[in-house]
Structure 1
């Protein structure tokens, strides 16, 4: 975010002349973010940057910004003078601020690159790599800076949601993802004085394939044995599930249907008659007969 004082009206910005110029390269100083190779305040923390004409009396202002070439104009306090702007880095890590002096004819100086390092203030995010669709997934936020009182998050470009932090600065949110596929969760924190952190991003997928779990026969783990029964628990990943359909060994002509209880969960028991490999695929189904788009593959490996 760029917050600049003394920015001229659009009509007062000097026109750009040719690339050939004798305008002096500007000086750039910052108390909060000096170009010294050390780490400084943090993402979301504003700093003041002062641009100087470097002894060139023809300089009437400066172009600056975090892209090359710099595009935001600020007037000097007098010809050959200086200008101070407030600039807030939004991400941690190495950052560059590009600055060029300009004279009344629009001639730009060689561009000065002010290189600085921004400490991380982004929250830590503990979130599952896969969530359901239309059902809440618990996500935990931890502070990356002091005095955090809340977190604001959004999924993709959706609406923002703010949750209060507890006394230790952490918070838990139930994040609901509306659609299948790949998504990005973004979150920032806010302190009691209104200072915002940098933004943390986490990518994940959303699937409506039900979850399958068994302590007797964990997925893809050699367990149990011939004649040893196993209980398998099915958990919905989309609302309104009333039953599950599963298939052994890709035998799509012989489904087994298991009714769900009031909270959409179900379980079944399977007793293998021999050691070996028993692949299962499980789908969920709603009262209207709509099946989950995706099935969950689970592999029973019998000792």
Structure 2
């Protein structure tokens, strides 16, 4: 009488059980009085086990698969258990393998790793608890099913945008609508994307009793989206990150299959027409007095979504100043500025769009005019007592003093300015050679203005 295939499978599993039982340790004195329990909370690759043989969990098997379960014992005094795992390819149940985790703590996940699995094969695995003090073993758990998938998608995704065509100049202000496609790859689960070429990595948090809670790789819409069906497409609306050069933005997109194997990356370039706000000076006084600026949004940005505010960055400072806008998108701001200070200004729209940055700088020349009849600039003259005349280029009445030195190593000297903000400095050379006069003015408000340099020579 021939055995049916089902009967053959039962015989094969029995043989496998015999193989696994060979791993049991001999009984010892002082054995526990209770019995081991069947492990609970079975996980593989930190995800719950799939008990339906028709719907196995698809996982990468190239580095093996972490399997785990919680062992326990009816005797509360037991503190050391062994958890055993057996596994086999569903297509060949006779090929049973076994691994185990010794010194497992009752009530907590005990894990080990199945070895490298064959790509494309579906496997079943079970777990049981063993009391090493007396070799008593629980029943095997229900089988969990996994399919090894180490085949990466062979095509990058397709990426199109109807409102920001690839590598074409487009008006900014509206979210960029993207359509992703699987490009013929049948098992695509979803898509990952980023503005800098790095992609998010899914993981798991370990909770009470060591139970893992795997994160959803598509939970954060800023970085990933699930396909509308296996092998299907997806659409997203994205706003590019704010930076000083966002007239060109690059989106990097890749697809992932059920085992989270990634495809090659598609690089989509977006070109955005200039959309920085306009900066107009309404009132201006030099030497650190307040300046009032009017900020006007780009018309296309305002039409796409109303501008609600502006971000102003001052040279030398990383902390932006936020200025709210009126309903028209216009704003005014008054700032006390350092000489030749640079401002970088961008607008922010109600939909989150950040414009490119415009820049403005106080171009008032605050250097000092230096003249000398005895020592003209750039020439060498006989060594005689000389006079150097210092004069501001604007607003002389605001100058309180001048600070100067005749060489890089000399200690600077400060001298009060005259009523008109000028100064005649008498100076006698101590030796021949070339001199580098460095001088700056200081205002009555204590503001140091820009340095001026005057190069001349003294002949012997």
Q: Is the 8 A contact 1:122 1:143 kept in 2?
A: no
Alpha-carbon distance, 1:79 to partner: 1.3
Alpha-carbon separation, structure 1, partners of 2:225 and 2:370 = 65
Q: Is the 8 A contact 1:100 1:112 kept in 2?
A: yes
Q: Which residue of 1 aligns with 2:13?
A: none
Q: Which residue of 2 aligns with 1:154?
A: 313
For residues 221-240 of structure 1, the aligned pairs below 5 Å read 232-233=391-392
Q: Is the 8 A contact 2:279 2:360 kept in 1?
A: no
Q: Is the 8 A contact 1:93 1:120 kept in 2?
A: yes
Q: Which residue of 1 aligns with 2:126?
A: none
| Superposition RMSD in Å | 5.5
Superposition TM-score, scaled by structure 1 size: 0.58
Q: Is the 8 A contact 1:16 1:108 kept in 2?
A: no
Q: Which residue of 2 aligns with 1:96?
A: 250
Decide whether aligned partners of structure 1 residues 267 and 279 sit closer, same or farther in structure 2, where only a CA change above 3 A counts. farther
Q: Which residue of 1 aligns with 2:18?
A: none
Larger radius of gyration: 2
Q: Does 1:187 align with 2:345?
A: yes
Alpha-carbon distance, 1:214 to partner: 8.4
Q: Secondary structure at the match of 1:79?
A: coil
Alpha-carbon separation, structure 2, partners of 1:73 and 1:195 = 19
Alpha-carbon distance, 1:119 to partner: 1.5
Alpha-carbon separation, structure 2, partners of 1:254 and 1:183 = 25
Q: Is the 8 A contact 2:247 2:356 kept in 1?
A: no
Q: Deviations over 1:257-294 (max 9, x none)?
A: 32588xxxx6125499xxxx99754456799xx996x8
Unaligned ranges ≥5, structure 2: 1-46, 49-57, 63-149, 201-222, 379-387, 427-433
Question: Greater relative contact order (Cα 8 A, min sep 6): structure 1 or 2?
Answer: 1
Q: Is the 8 A contact 1:126 1:141 kept in 2?
A: yes
Q: Which residue of 2 aligns with 1:212?
A: 368
Q: How many residues are matched?
A: 255
Equivalent residue for 1:73, pick from 209, 224, 227: 224
Q: Which residue of 2 aligns with 1:56?
A: 185
Alpha-carbon distance, 1:40 to partner: 0.9
Q: Which residue of 2 aligns with 1:83?
A: 234
Alpha-carbon distance, 1:173 to partner: 4.3
Alpha-carbon separation, structure 2, partners of 1:119 and 1:281 = 45
Q: Is the 8 A contact 1:45 1:195 kept in 2?
A: no
Equivalent residue for 2:298, pick from 139, 145, 149: 145
Alpha-carbon distance, 1:57 to partner: 2.9
Alpha-carbon distance, 1:29 to partner: 1.7
Alpha-carbon separation, structure 2, partners of 1:119 and 1:85 = 22
Q: Which residue of 1 aligns with 2:335?
A: 174
Q: Secondary structure at the match of 2:270?
A: strand
Q: Which residue of 2 aligns with 1:115?
A: 269
Q: Is the 8 A contact 1:17 1:105 kept in 2?
A: no
Alpha-carbon separation, structure 2, partners of 1:254 and 1:55 = 75
Alpha-carbon distance, 1:92 to partner: 3.4
Q: Deviations over 1:135-169 (max 9, x none)?
A: 45748566561146753212332242316589895
Unaligned ranges ≥5, structure 1: 1-10, 222-228
